Amino acid sequence: MEELSVSVSNLTKSFGSRRVVDALSFTVKRGEVFALLWGTTEREKAPPST
């Protein structure tokens, strides 16, 4: 059996009325490297996150 480090199911994220993530699901197995990256638009003027 695989050992999971992270398991996400049906993740949804909104900023105000704007849905930016809709029903995201994934698993990360022990020993795997995973990164989720996204950008911002110039209009949003948000600082980058690390």
Q: What is the pLDDT along the chain (50 residues), one digit of tens a residue?
A: 679 899 999 999 998 999 988 999 999 999 999 888 776 666 666 666 65
Report whether 23 contacts 11 (CB < 8 A).
Answer: yes
pLDDT at site 25: 95
The DSSP secondary structure of 2-34, one letter per residue, reads PPEEEEEEEEEEEETTEEEEEEEEEEEETT---
pLDDT at site 1: 65
User: Residue 14 region, left (φ>0) first, then alpha (ψ -120 to 50), else beta?
Assistant: beta
